[in-house]
Structure 1
Amino acid sequence: MTDKKDLLVELGTEDLPARLVLSQATELGEVLCEQLAEAELRFGEHRVFCTPRRLAVVVEQLDACQPDRLVERWGPAKAIAFDEAGNPTAAATGFARSCDIEVDQLQIESNSGEPKLVFREQRAGLEIQALLPELLKAVFGKLSVRKRMRWNAGEDEFIRPVRWLTVLYGTEIVSARAFGLTCGGVSYGHRFHSPKAIKIPQPSHYNRLLETEGHVLADFSARQEEILNQVSALATRAKAEPVYTQALLDEITGLVEWPQALLGEFDPRFLEVPREVLIITMQDKQKYIPLVDQAGMLLPRFIMLSNIDSAAPEQVRLGNEKVIVPRFEDASFFWQRDLARALESRLETLKDVVFEKELGNLHDKTLRTCRLAEAIGEELGADLQTCQRAARLSKCDLLTEIVTELPEMQGIAGRYMALHDGEEPAVAQAIEEQYLPRQAGGALPKSVPGQVLAIADKLDTLVGIFAIGKKPTGLKDPYGLRRAALGVLRILVETELNIDLPSALKRAGGLFPAKLATDAVIGEVHEYMIKRLYAYFSARDVAHDVIDAVLANRPASPFDIATRIDAVARFRKLEDAARLAAANKRIRNILKKTAGAEPGAVQKELLRQDAETDLYTAIEAMSRDVEDLFHQRQYEQALRKLAGLRQPIDSFFDHVMVMDDDEALKINRIALLARIDALFMHVADFSRLQS
């Protein structure tokens, strides 16, 4: 049993990109632990620490030494290793050299019935001090840094220049070099509050010493909790609610080492600008947290996070308030210029904006979207005039100055401008909702015209980009087709829209030149969307065999697919479900063996045994009700009725020989089984369900 001590690895850097601080520290911890495990070192938990100027990992209870191990290597066969005179060949000498021994020190043993050379050696495990120098180089080399940079005259590369390197095992400094630096036993505190070196006696003291002596909250979660506490206190004092996302909070946490929240204000006249413009400007450009009142109305106040505990916080506050004014002035100027022109006046100018070279301009896309929205709206019984008007104006705001400055405003700016121009509120709402959902798990369109426009816009993009051969590959998806496909599917499933997807794709394809949107392209897009649908349900913990069973029938409507999946998932919890699934699998196997022969209708006069008569009677008694339920998409209720067939099906297989010598009886019994199979196949292929 070896001694165990804690290990500290800290990289001190120039300021890191705030959005990457946590992910880089997390990866450092994971890669370090992977390398330690590969070296056969045992250890306990590990914790990561990160600030704008450091990435650190503390690994608890790490072995001081590798375990001793037996090294075994098999070499060439004896017949190849020695010539007829018994002299070693080049194969033998080469193998011996690779093992750093002489040929006569190798052994000959049987391996898989053939004599071969073998090398065995009991090797003592290396101590941690000897292992870490090379191990750390491997760790730093494996970190997935997209854009590396060099500094000074060295050849070392990292996301930002590395300024100090701290590696401690217990109380001992590890003798290693990396990034042109020699490992030390000190860290450094806050750049302004405590820039001096801080001696770290052992890893377990690291976090506490940085806080007490260095004015640094190194624990990301603790720092974020402190930020939230300060923000909550200031918001309460202002009788307001803070507006932030987790992404913004993470980025702010990655910007500061010693957070100090301050309450700022801006001129209320800027509230005439759409609230989204002000919120985006504060959050994205300045990393401020906007405040709203209890009714959700934006207040002329915000919270900023400073990285210093200033002796003059008022000056910090005033400085931040001054910074935001020019941004708001620009936004107000752009907005007033945009309102000076009607939204529709930009429609013709869309001809000057290329959507995709092979697919035309944005005006062409708008016209296609109008026609597709009309067809989808008609299928859903939507207000066609609203759908067409919203589609006509849908891309006009892309030419506004406010969207050019803040692309996040696309759709939102269109809604405000449409209302300003006197358009119907439903039209304005649909213009904004066409881009929903904006991110994974995001809000969906609430209005039917918004749903229609969102579906039409996304299907046009999917079919068009697939048609020119630019479908997603691996990690590359420049047109956001995965997001578009999943967006369409979520809208259809979660807002319960019953649309025939293959038909909708075909209509979308019909709006492109025939040489582009071929049947093969339409089929490819459909298959792509079905794969996204499979992933959608898998992410919601739906069993894979349930998804397979439903998709085997290729239902046309994603909402119908969702309804069937829910019904099958509930059905399999019934007491009789497993035996019915097994019987269904048996029926499918029998029908496969007789494929090609049309069994036709069941002939009642050919039912000779009680068991087959009972089964036929049970089917006849429930078939009309069950088929009515299928027609109404009441799949769960239909399956519960079909569960009543379990006993007569079991009895049938116990007492009836399907493959009877009498051909007429055999065909009739196959027809009876085909009738059962057809009933279940209304919902899914139950033979695919696992027991």
Structure 2
Amino acid sequence: MMSANLLVELFVEELPPKALKKLGEAFASLLGDGLKAQGLAPADAGIVSFASPRRLAVHVAGVAAKAADRAVQQKLMPVAVALTADGQPTPALLKKLAAVGADASVVPQLKRQPDGKAEALFWDSVVPGATLAEGLQKALDETLAKLPIPKVMTYQLSDGWTDVKFVRPAHGLVALHGSEVVGVKAFGLGAGRETRGHRFESAAPKIVIESADSYAAQLREQGAVIASFAERRAEIVRQLNERAGGLKPIDDDALLDEVTGLVERPNVLLCRFESEFLAVPQECLILTMKANQKYFPLLDAAGKLTNQFLVVSNIRPDDASAVTGGNERVVRPRLADAKFFFDQDRKKTLAERVPGLAKVVYHGKLGTQGERVERVRAIAKAIAGMLGTDAGLVDQAARFAKADLLTDMVGEFPELQGIMGGYYARHDGLDGSVAEAIEDHYKPRFAGDELPRNDVGVVVALADKLETLVGLFGIGQLPTGDRDPFALRRHALGVVRMLTETALTRRLELAALLQSALPAFGPLIQDPSTALTQFILDRLAGALREQGYTAQEVDAVLALTPQRLSDVLSRLDAVREFASLPEAPALAAANKRIGNILKKVETPVEARVDDALLQEAAERDLAAALKTVAPKADAAFEQGQYAASLRELAALKAPVDAFFDGVMVNADDAALRANRLGLLKTLHQAMNRVADLSRLAS
């Protein structure tokens, strides 16, 4: 059966640049999967994605002109329903056969096979394989319906009546199997072999694609378009580094992807702005150049902003001075605005701005930003008291942390909140640790972000995140599914990281920390500690699994709701070491068995053993072993030597096995039964201090 490489291109108006990468990848993978599912492309077929500002395309290797026929066995119905007593087909069977495209002539060919407790009739048939035109049309329709379109656009087809919904209006469709056109349609467009190149620099208005394999080369040579998103991105990176001339372009993958989605054939040019603007904090200048102009600022070896930047142009004129000059003129007003905001903001101190926060609504049920600041101050003072941090500096940082929300610069660039507060704090002459704390109190802002640099910053950042979590959980404003408008998952991860990665907070206990935040809210909220503790531990569990710990190991440790999160890694390592011991499987299974026994007891069981009631040798041996092992395990546990604590438990394997082999726990004598349950309770407590070992049982 003939096979050849397939090329499909949908030519459209300019696609949203931030979504282009995902759209291109989805178009290629969905269409390729659709062909594979129908047997038109092999499971290991090579798939190449193309995505430029005006096209989505895919190249699929080894696509068949027609899929192979398939043998299919269909269950029809129970024999008792399908045939009469004398073996003739019933009306129900004839109706079913008609529904599957057969008639009474196939009845002799039907097979009787067991189906549960009864027999059923089955029909073996051959389903013809789909032709490429049929299969590609189906795959194309499904692909276009499933694309991750950020915002759908409605437009009319050329008939002036038919409405179509898609990301952008489509103007052309190419479908080539080898060098042959495949007759498919999309959005009222019939497939052909003509496409268009660069909007300004293509050699001809239309490019006739010779074959599926010549597509990329023809677009590059005749159309002045690098069709591959990945190749175009790599070319931009190459040119950025080349044009930087020893300086370093700003590292921003999102900006790089967006610019790749804006140009068809990149041309990177060097531009400059007046050095006087460098007096403005570089974060402001960098942000305005990136966000508003899509430029790449250049940094020196020390990471300091220079007055040079790179622009990625979509045209290659012989004389680029008009392009560079135009971009330099455009950026100047942006930088002037930033300088104006910075100068104006410094005319008013942070202290003078604080009262204004009382007029800014934070949440309908939690009051204003001013009230929120007071809660953060109260929580920060409580944490500072636990840690012995300078309460005066902590309070000052917490008081001024949100004041920059009322500045012009943050009003223009919300991403700079905290950062600008740090600059203005230094301008106001505040202590350096306070300025750093104000700048850092939103950290960590994202996965992998740095933690606050000093103790004051850690306390304020912790207080800020706790205020958000406790307050919103306290009024029932919990995340649901993918919706998390207040970024509570990110705040919880921030708390986890500060409690596990910062030496200052290692001795803080989670329950005490949450309780310390409650008084700041008064009657505004209900105590959310139980739900919030589980929420925080769930975030911790996810982070630990990403670090390579198994779900079983994580579950075993977090099942005990450890209060010092800084101990969790040590506990996990101890559990992993314990699991490698030959005694571990038997002890974990025994632990699980003990837990199940204790759960079934209706009255509370005390961890107490009366030696006088120990009748069987096996229970006496277990009690004696516990008296020896438990103190050693407990001592190691109290010293934080969790691995050593668990290693001590290995000595219990033999007496535990002997106990369950030779002792009846539920003895008829009530006193004897209670004593044996007390022995198991004592054993259970001794075994489960580091982790719930029953979670390791297979």
Q: Match for residue 273 of structure 2?
A: 266
Q: Match for residue 65 of structure 2?
A: 64
Residues 1:229 and 2:230 aligned together: no
State how 1:4-43 maps to structure 2 within 5 Å.
4-43=3-42
Indicate conservation of the 8 Å contact 2:605/2:681, yes or no.
no
- Counterpart CA distance in 2 for 1:102 and 1:614 is 78
Indicate conservation of the 8 Å contact 1:106/1:117, yes or no.
no
Which amino acid in the other structure matches residue 267 of structure 1? E
- Note the C-alpha offset of 1:241: 1.9
3-state SS of 1:304 partner = strand
- Match 1:190 to one of 195, 198, 202: 198
State how 1:131-210 maps to structure 2 within 5 Å.
131-152=135-156, 153=160, 154-194=162-202, 196=204, 197-210=206-219
Which amino acid in the other structure matches residue 56 of structure 1? A
3-state SS of 1:150 partner = strand
Q: Match for residue 454 of structure 1?
A: 461
Indicate conservation of the 8 Å contact 1:109/1:115, yes or no.
no
- Identical positions, percent: 39
- Note the C-alpha offset of 1:364: 0.8
Residues 1:125 and 2:129 aligned together: yes
More displaced stretch, 669-678 vs 449-458: 669-678
More displaced stretch, 406-415 vs 544-553: 544-553
Residues 1:518 and 2:522 aligned together: no
State how 1:560-579 maps to structure 2 within 5 Å.
560-579=567-586
State how 1:603-618 maps to structure 2 within 5 Å.
603=610
- Counterpart CA distance in 1 for 2:518 and 2:456 is 21
Indicate how the Cα distance of structure 1 residues 601 and 89 shifts in structure 2: closer, same or farther if over 3 A, else same: closer
Indicate conservation of the 8 Å contact 1:244/1:290, yes or no.
no
State how 1:225-264 maps to structure 2 within 5 Å.
225-235=234-244, 237=245, 239-264=246-271
- Note the C-alpha offset of 1:324: 0.8
Indicate how the Cα distance of structure 1 residues 391 and 80 shifts in structure 2: closer, same or farther if over 3 A, else same: same
Q: 1:415-443: CA deviations, max 9, x gaps? A: 00011101111111111211112222222
Which amino acid in the other structure matches residue 402 of structure 2? K
More displaced stretch, 577-586 vs 44-53: 577-586
Residues 1:676 and 2:692 aligned together: no
Q: 1:524-582: CA deviations, max 9, x gaps? A: 22222222222222222211111111122122233233432232223323454334434
3-state SS of 2:143 partner = helix
- Note the C-alpha offset of 1:60: 0.9
TM-score if structure 2 supplies the norm length?
0.90
Indicate how the Cα distance of structure 1 residues 210 and 259 shifts in structure 2: closer, same or farther if over 3 A, else same: same
Q: 1:181-214: CA deviations, max 9, x gaps? A: 1111133222222162222222222222222332
Indicate how the Cα distance of structure 1 residues 623 and 226 shifts in structure 2: closer, same or farther if over 3 A, else same: same
Which amino acid in the other structure matches residue 39 of structure 2? E
Indicate conservation of the 8 Å contact 2:38/2:130, yes or no.
no
More displaced stretch, 167-176 vs 125-134: 125-134
Indicate how the Cα distance of structure 1 residues 101 and 597 shifts in structure 2: closer, same or farther if over 3 A, else same: closer
- Match 1:219 to one of 207, 224, 228: 228
State how 1:388-407 maps to structure 2 within 5 Å.
388-407=395-414
Indicate how the Cα distance of structure 1 residues 114 and 512 shifts in structure 2: closer, same or farther if over 3 A, else same: same
More displaced stretch, 96-105 vs 313-322: 96-105
Indicate how the Cα distance of structure 1 residues 282 and 181 shifts in structure 2: closer, same or farther if over 3 A, else same: same
Q: Match for residue 482 of structure 1?
A: 489
- Counterpart CA distance in 2 for 1:122 and 1:647 is 63
- Note the C-alpha offset of 1:76: 5.6
- Counterpart CA distance in 1 for 2:660 and 2:124 is 62
Indicate conservation of the 8 Å contact 2:79/2:112, yes or no.
no
Indicate conservation of the 8 Å contact 2:40/2:135, yes or no.
no
Indicate conservation of the 8 Å contact 1:224/1:253, yes or no.
yes
Q: Which ranges of structure 1 fall in alignment gaps of 5 or more residues?
A: none
- Counterpart CA distance in 2 for 1:590 and 1:134 is 58
Indicate conservation of the 8 Å contact 1:12/1:163, yes or no.
yes
Which amino acid in the other structure matches residue 281 of structure 2? P
3-state SS of 1:48 partner = strand
Which amino acid in the other structure matches residue 187 of structure 2? F
- Counterpart CA distance in 1 for 2:193 and 2:416 is 50
> Considering only aligned residues, what root-mean-square deviation do their CA atoms show, in Å?
3.0
Which amino acid in the other structure matches residue 530 of structure 2? G
Q: Which ranges of structure 2 fall in alignment gaps of 5 or more residues?
A: none
State how 1:158-557 maps to structure 2 within 5 Å.
158-194=166-202, 196=204, 197-235=206-244, 237=245, 239-496=246-503, 497=505, 498-514=507-523, 516-519=524-527, 521-557=528-564
- Counterpart CA distance in 2 for 1:362 and 1:597 is 49
3-state SS of 2:312 partner = strand
- Note the C-alpha offset of 1:652: 6.0
Which amino acid in the other structure matches residue 11 of structure 1? L
Which amino acid in the other structure matches residue 153 of structure 2? M
More displaced stretch, 561-570 vs 73-82: 73-82
Q: Match for residue 53 of structure 2?
A: 52
Q: 1:564-616: CA deviations, max 9, x gaps? A: 22322233234543344344334445545667464554455666788766655
Indicate how the Cα distance of structure 1 residues 92 and 432 shifts in structure 2: closer, same or farther if over 3 A, else same: same
Indicate conservation of the 8 Å contact 1:545/1:690, yes or no.
no
- Note the C-alpha offset of 1:89: 8.3
Indicate conservation of the 8 Å contact 1:156/1:180, yes or no.
no
Task: Work out the number of aligned pairs and report it.
Answer: 686
Indicate conservation of the 8 Å contact 2:203/2:224, yes or no.
no
Indicate conservation of the 8 Å contact 2:154/2:165, yes or no.
yes
Indicate conservation of the 8 Å contact 2:629/2:651, yes or no.
no
- Counterpart CA distance in 2 for 1:71 and 1:628 is 67
Which amino acid in the other structure matches residue 125 of structure 1? G
Q: 1:606-628: CA deviations, max 9, x gaps? A: 66788766655554445444323
3-state SS of 2:226 partner = coil
- Counterpart CA distance in 2 for 1:507 and 1:340 is 37
- Counterpart CA distance in 2 for 1:499 and 1:582 is 34
- Counterpart CA distance in 1 for 2:202 and 2:569 is 59
- Counterpart CA distance in 2 for 1:42 and 1:619 is 65
- Note the C-alpha offset of 1:385: 1.4
TM-score if structure 1 supplies the norm length?
0.91
Indicate how the Cα distance of structure 1 residues 440 and 560 shifts in structure 2: closer, same or farther if over 3 A, else same: same
Which amino acid in the other structure matches residue 46 of structure 2? E
Q: 1:499-522: CA deviations, max 9, x gaps? A: 3223333333443353x5223x43
- Note the C-alpha offset of 1:343: 0.8
- Counterpart CA distance in 2 for 1:358 and 1:599 is 45
Indicate how the Cα distance of structure 1 residues 569 and 381 shifts in structure 2: closer, same or farther if over 3 A, else same: farther
Indicate conservation of the 8 Å contact 1:188/1:195, yes or no.
no
